Amino acid sequence: MAKYLGIDTGGTFTDFILFDNESKTVRIHKVLSTPQAPEKAIMQGVADLGIEGDDLAIIHGSTVATNAVLEGKGVSTAYITNKGLADVLAIGRQAREELYNLTPTRKPPLIERQLCLEVNSRLSASGEQLQQLSEQDLSELTAQLAALAPKAVAINLLFSFIDESEELKIEKAIVDRFGEEGVFISRSSDVLPEYKEFERGMTTALNAKVGPLMQGYLQRLEDSLTGQGKQKHSQGTVLSIMQSSGGITSARQAGRYPVNLLLSGPAGGLKGAQTVAAASAISQLLSFDMGGTSTDVSIIDKKPGFTSGAKIGGYPVAVPMVDMHTIGAGGGSIAQVDAGGLLLVGPESAAADPGPACYGKGGKRPTVTDANVVLGRLLPQSFLGGNMRLDKAAAIAALKNVAAPLGLTVEQAAMGIIEVVNDHMVRALRVMSVERGEDPKDFTLVSFGGAGGLHVCALAEALEMTKALVPVNAGVLSALGMLAAEASRERSRTINRPLKDCDTVAIEQLFAELASLAIAELNPATVFAGNEAISGSQPGRLQDLLRFAGNDSIKLVLTVDVRYRGQSYALNLPWRSLQNIEPDFHKKHRDSYGHELAIDIELVNLRVRAIEQRQSFELPRWQPSEELTCEFVTMPGIAQAVAVMNRAGLPVGHRIEGPALITETSATTWLATGWIAEIDSVGNIDCRSNKPDSR
C-alpha cells in the first residue's frame, strides 16, 4: 500500500491522519462529526484531504456499536435459552450500583420479555446431554420467531462452551427457515465460549442487537469510499476496523463481532500513546485522552493492561478489551448550577450539534471549551489551524448563565468550570493508579485528544507528577494509533478443571483448536504490511501451529486464567507448561495480594491471541513545516505576558518556559507557570515541572 489513512470518529470531531509510505510524510485533518450518519463526516474529510487512487489502506475506529449500546438503539432481538432461564438477563447478578439507595431506578431489560424464548435442551456441567432438541422443538421455535419477526437472534444455552452442538442445531434451523441474510445470528459458543451464563448471554445479546447496525454502516462506508461498492473495494482500497483489544480486524469480521468494537476509538488512543511514548524512551505512562465528549484514562507499565470484566452503559461485556476508565468529561461538557447552588460540569455534553456556544452553531449552554476561550487558552483565530473561528462573545454570553447565580465574574466562573472538570479527571486518573497500588510520581502523564493539552499541567500537579508528554499530533492521536496497530484475533474457552486433573496433551489440543480458529479469522491483507491472507488447511497440533505461525509472521500468545478453588475471580498467566502453572500462580498471587493459600488450583479459561507481526510503524523525525512565530498576549489571572507559539515552527531541542500557549491545527497546549518544555526528536513536547517543591 502507498498510503495509510487512520480515521477516528468521536462524539464531537472525526479525526484523520494520512501517512504516505513513499514520502514518509504525515498529514492531519479534523471535521465535525455527523452522529446520525458517521460516514458523511468521513467522506467530507477524505474529500478535504484530496485522496485519490485505489492504493489505500484505511483503519477506522467506529463509535456506531458503542452509541447503539449507550443509547439503547439496537435492533429488535430475540433471545433463545434453556427452559426456565428466560429471565437471566433481566435478573442479572442482583448487585446494587448504589448500595444505600432504597429506591433505585431500574434499568429497562436489554431484551423485552416477550422476545425471550425457551427450548427443551439441557447439558450437564460435565458435558452429558440430558435433553436434546427434536425436529418438532426446532419447528416450533422457528414458528415463534416468524411470528415475532426479530432482526437479530442471540442463542445462549447452558454449558455451550463444552458442547456447541445444540446451539448449532438452532442456528441451522433459523438459517433454513429464514435464509443466510434473513436474520443476524449471534451464538454464545462462537462469540464468548466461557462460563458465567449471565455475562456470556449479555455479551451475545449485545453482539446481536448492534450487529445489523454495524454491518449496514460498514457497507455504506465501503460503498461511499470506493464509489462502486464491494467489487472495487476488493481490488484496491482496504478497510480495517480497530477493536477494543487494541488490534485491527477486517470489516467483515467487525460486522460479525461488533461487541469487540465497543472501545474501538479509545483503544486506538492507547496504542498511539504507547507508540509516541516509546519514541521518547518512556515505558511507564498514565494516558489521558480528553476529547469533546468524554475522557479516557489508562495506565501502561511497559505494555497496556487488558480486562474481560468491563461494563459499557451498565452492561457487562466479557470480551477482551484494553483496561480503561471513562468519564463524561470533555471539551463539550456542559456546566450548570444545581438547585443547591453548586457548580456541576458534565456528564451531559453539547457534542457536535449544536456544540459549545463558541462554535457559533446555536449552542447557548456553557461548556469547558467556552471556559477555555474566555480564559484566553483557546485563541479564536487559531482554532483548527484557523479553519474554524471561535465566537468569544457567544462564550462569554453562555458563561453569564453560570456566573450570575454564583455571584462571580465571567472569568471567575470560567476558572471554576476548569477546576471542577480537572477534579473529575484527577479522580479518574487515581482510579487507574493510586487505587491499584501505583504511585503516579513514577509515571509520565501522556496527554492527548483535542482538549488534553489544555489541562495536562494542572492534572500533573494535582497528582504530584513532575513529568508530562504532549505527543506529536496529539489532537488526532487515536487515529495515529490505528496506523500503528497490528491485526489480531482473540479466542478463548472455559475448561474449569482442577490443575491436578489436567493433562498436557488435552490442554495443548484445546489450545491448538483455538489457535487454528484465530489464525483462520485473521486477514493479514487488511493490515499495514499488506501480507497475503492465510489460506488452506491449518495444522492440528500446537507445536505445528506455533511453527506455522512463526513462518508466516504471526505471533501466538497463549495464556490461562487460574484461581484457587472456590474463588470467583482468576489471575491471567502466560502459558509455559502445565508444570509451571502452580509456581507461577502462587508468585502472581503473592505479588497481587501479598499472600498465597494452601488450596487446590483450578484452570478456568484458555486464551489465544493471534497477532500479525510487521515492521513497527515509526514516527518520522520532526522537521518544522512553518516559520516559528512568537507573540505575547495577556490572560485573566496570569500576572505576566504569555508567549504564543506555533508548534509547526518549533525545532528539535527548542526550550519553552511557561506560561505559554503552543498552538497547532488539531489541539492547543497550555504550558503553565513553573513548567518547562522541550521538543524531542519526533516532535513530542516533553514537559517538566520546574517548581521548587518538585522532585
The predicted-structure confidence for 44-102, as pLDDT tens digits, reads as follows 999 999 887 667 889 999 888 888 887 788 999 999 999 999 999 999 887 777 888 88
In this structure, is residue 10 part of a structural domain? yes
pLDDT at 306: 86
How many Å apart are CA 214 and CA 125, to the nearest integer?
35
When the pLDDT of each residue in the chain is averaged and rounded to a whole number, the result is 88
Please check the confidence at residue 270 and state whether its pLDDT lies above 70: yes
SS3 60: strand
Longest pairwise C-alpha distance within the chain: 83
Cβ-contact 331, 12 below 8 angstroms? yes
List Cβ<8 Å contacts ≥24 apart for 570-574.
Answer: 570/602, 570/604, 570/605, 572/306, 572/607
Confidence grade of residue 35 (pLDDT, cut at 50, 70, 90)? confident
Compute the distance between CA of residue 526 and CA of residue 522 in angstroms, rounded to an integer: 9
Answer whether 82's CB lies under 8 Å from 217's CB. no
> Residue 387 class from Cβ within 10 Å (0-12 exposed, 13-18 middle, 19+ buried)?
exposed
Amino acid making up residue 195: Y
> In DSSP terms, which residues pair with 609 in a beta bridge?
490, 557
Residue 497: which pLDDT band, with cuts at 50, 70 and 90? very high
Task: Say if residue 46 is in the same domain as residue 168.
Answer: no
pLDDT tens sequence across 507-519: 999 999 999 888 8
pLDDT at 318: 92
Secondary structure (3-state) at 564? strand
Under the banding of pLDDT at 50, 70 and 90, the label for residue 229 is very low
Is the pLDDT assigned to residue 532 strictly greater than 70?
no
| CA dist., res. 52 & res. 500, Å (int) | 61
pLDDT for residue 472 is more than 80: yes
Domain boundary among 171, 206, 241: 206
Could you tell me if residue 427 is inside a domain?
no
Report pLDDT for 526: 34
Residues 549 and 649 in one domain: no
Indicate whether 98 and 14 sit together in one domain: no
Identify whether residues 183 and 94 lie together within a single domain. Answer: yes
What is the pLDDT at residue 385?
A: 73
Residue type, 96: R
| Pick from 293, 226, 284: nearest CA to 265 | 293
- Domain end residue (candidates: 166, 184, 206): 206
Rounded CA gap, 112 and 80, in Å? Answer: 12
Helix/strand/coil percentages in the chain, nearest 5: 35, 25, 40
- Residue 230: its H or E element: helix 230-235
Asked if 329 contacts 346 with a C-beta cutoff of 8 angstroms, the reply is yes
* Number of domains into which the chain is organized: 4
Which of 164, 186, 206 is where one domain is finished? 206
- Residue 552 — pLDDT band, cuts 50, 70, 90? low
Cβ neighbors of 460 (< 8 A, separation 6 or more) are: 445, 466, 467, 468, 687, 689
Q: In what helix (H) or strand (E) does residue 135 lie, and over which residues does it extend? A: helix 135-148
- Neighbouring C-beta atoms of residue 681, cutoff 10 Å: 12
Helix (H, G, I), strand (E, B) or coil at 109: coil
**CB neighbour list of residue 114: distance below 8 Å, 6 or more residues apart:** 148
In a domain, 191, yes or no: yes
Summarize pLDDT for 275-317 with one digit per residue, the tens: 999 988 899 999 989 887 788 899 998 888 888 888 888 889 9
pLDDT in tens, 403-433: 999 999 999 999 999 999 999 999 999 999 9
Total-model pTM: 0.85
Ranges 44-58, 312-326, 635-649: which has the least confidence? 44-58
**Cα–Cα distance, 81 to 87 (Å, whole number):** 10
Cβ–Cβ < 8 Å for 570, 604? yes
Q: Are residues 17 and 89 in the same domain?
A: no
Nearest to 497, CA basis, from 603, 606, 605, 607: 603
pLDDT tens-digit readout, 341-357? 999 998 888 877 788 99
Q: Would residue 253 count as lying in a domain?
A: yes
**Local confidence band at 549 (pLDDT 50, 70, 90 cut-offs):** low
Mean pLDDT of all residues in 567-579 = 92
The dihedral over CA atoms of 79, 81, 85, 89, expressed in degrees to the nearest 10, equals: -40
> Do residues 601 and 644 share a domain?
no
pLDDT (tens digit per residue) in 139-161: 999 999 999 999 999 999 999 99
My answer on whether omega of the bond before 659 falls inside 30° of 0, hence cis, is yes
SS3 of 117, please? strand
Residues 85 and 171 in one domain: yes
Q: Is residue 557 part of a domain?
A: yes
Cα atoms in the Cβ-side hemisphere of radius 13 Å centred on 94: 2
Residue 54: predicted pLDDT: 65
CA-CA distance, 381 to 389, in Å (whole number)? 5
**Amino acid 545: pLDDT:** 65
Average pLDDT over residues 196-222: 94
Asked if 208 and 190 count as a contact pair (C-beta separation under 8 A), the reply is no
Tell whether 542 and 503 lie within a shared domain.
yes
Residue whose cell numbers read 433471545: 79
The strand ranges marked E within 120-243 are 122-123, 129-131, 152-155, 184-187, 237-242
Centroid of chain to Cα 331: 19
CATH number at residue 179: 3.40.50
* Angle of helix 477-484 versus helix 264-279 axis, rounded to 10: 80
Question: 502 phi and psi, to 5 degrees?
Answer: -85, 150
Position 400 in a domain: no
Domain that holds residue 553: 487-612
Residue 371 three-state SS: helix
Alpha helices in 149-302 (DSSP H): 165-178, 188-191, 197-226, 230-235, 251-256, 264-279
In this structure, are 235 and 150 located in the same domain? Answer: no
413: Cα separation from own chain's centroid: 33
Residues 62 and 178 in one domain: no
- Tell whether 328 is covered by a domain: no
Q: Are residues 77 and 61 in the same domain?
A: no
CATH of the domain at 45: 3.30.420.40
**pLDDT for the residue numbered 535:** 34
pLDDT in tens, 50-59: 887 667 889 9
Cell of 527: 493490515
- In the predicted model, what is the mean pLDDT of residues 573-579? 93
Element (DSSP H or E) covering residue 315:
strand 315-317
Residues 188 and 145 in one domain: yes
120 in any annotated domain: yes
pLDDT value at position 228?
40
Q: Which of 164-173, 202-211, 245-254 has the lowest mean pLDDT?
A: 245-254
